[in-house]
Amino acid sequence: MTLPIRIAPIDQRWRCHGCGRCCRGTIINLGAEDRQRLAEQHWEEQPDFSGKRIIVRRGLLHPQYHLAKNKDGTCIFLEPDGLCRIHKQYGLEAKPLVCQMFPFQLVPLENFAYVTLRRYCPSAAADEGQPLEDYLDDVGRMATAGNLAAKPAVPPEVVRGQGRSWHFVLRTTDVLERLMLDQRYPPVRRVVHAINFCDLLEQCRLGRLSREKFASLLSMLEQGATADAASLFESRPPPRSLSSLLFRQIALEYLRLHPRMVVESSWLERWRVIRAAAAFARGKGSLPFLHECFPQTTFEALEQPLGPLAPSVLRPLAAYLEAAAASRQYLLLCRYGWSVVEAFRTVALGNAIAMWMLRLSCAGRTPEPQEMIDVVGALDRAAGYGPLIGARHRWRVTSLARLRQIAPLVAWYAR
């Protein structure tokens, strides 16, 4: 039995354009039923699959199974025309459940689950296609078949060590949604308001506050979150040296998720990553070669203002952040022990990461909307990427928050 599924109160659109991006550079986890369906399809009997592994096993005590990939990181079933061979021969329901569901994602809460879109799909990132409501029946059918969102999620802490109850969690996320969807302010200003709210909330002792007192506290903090934001955008101070170091380390992790940066797994590539990490730690001079999709530039150039950008360039990033707030998508990070405040800060920091990556993509010229769509794809992929959901990344984000540098970083790179 699946929780009731609802649409987040924001316009989201999608239609498959057959680009095949979801089949490139992604790991497709396979459950027991997925493996059974693949076995019944007898791919080993087809000449072009003879001698090839279809399923890859990782681990001994607690093995995990994935679809095999080609050397270039593409799914073994991806056809030259960008379509899935399983889908072609056997239909949608013959594919692994992860593939069937993409780009739909369920966010289980207390009494229902929101459905939202994974914006690694460029069509979803651009909000092109039919309204998400049109797919609600299909999502419900797939969720039931895969036993997804079958029970309420465990409520996370609101702030680290405090406030573990769904009432506190949902009232807090309501405030973050209002701040992020407040059309009186430009999108980047709303991000700073939400960061300020998280900083203020973290300073409070929730203890045994009654529901009435907690609501009063949130109302006061919501008003205070907008108070000093204007001065930050007037001064836009550059990030401190330690903050810049932490930021560059985080940015390098995101770069590896860029949709156009699909690389082969090899010792040469590992050595290249090690050299890049050392260069990013210094943060001076030319960037090391990362991939042919990125033009040559310098660290100093990536700190320069971009200037006014067309709304069509900024819209995919704003839509990604608004959808994350409205659907509570960031709460999925709480599965790994993160609090609501920590999880939201990670999403908000993505605004600065996106603008930095956009500078790298265009290297001095005027950015194009597609470049921002690619950047948003990298932000979306981070949701399940080990280095960006683990303890080390949590420490980096927490350190930036303690230095009160997340909002300044967002303002600095929005120039």
The amino acid at residue 223 is Q
**Could you read off the pLDDT tens digit of each residue along the chain, which spans 415 residues?**
789 999 999 999 999 988 888 888 788 889 899 999 999 999 988 888 888 889 988 887 788 899 998 888 889 999 888 889 999 899 988 999 999 999 999 999 999 999 999 999 999 999 999 999 999 999 999 999 888 888 889 999 999 988 779 999 999 999 999 999 999 999 999 999 999 999 999 999 888 889 999 999 999 999 999 988 989 999 999 999 999 999 999 999 999 999 988 766 677 777 878 888 899 999 999 999 888 889 999 999 999 999 999 999 999 999 999 999 999 999 999 989 999 999 999 999 999 999 999 999 998 889 999 999 999 999 999 988 889 999 999 999 999 999 999 999 999 999 9
pTM (2 d.p.): 0.93
| 316 cis-preceded (ω within 30 degrees of 0) | no
Torsion sign across C-alpha atoms 179, 183, 186, 188: positive
Contacts of residue 207, Cβ cutoff 8 Å, sequence gap at least 6: 162
Return d(Cα 398, Cα 405) in angstroms, integer. Answer: 10
Q: Of all residues in the chain, what percent are helix, strand and coil, respectively (each to 5)? A: 55, 10, 40
Contact assessment for residue 193 and residue 181, using Cβ atoms and an 8 Å cutoff? no
Q: Could you tell me which residues come within 8 angstroms of residue 324 by beta carbon, excluding any fewer than 6 positions away?
A: 116, 330, 347
3-state secondary structure of 233: helix
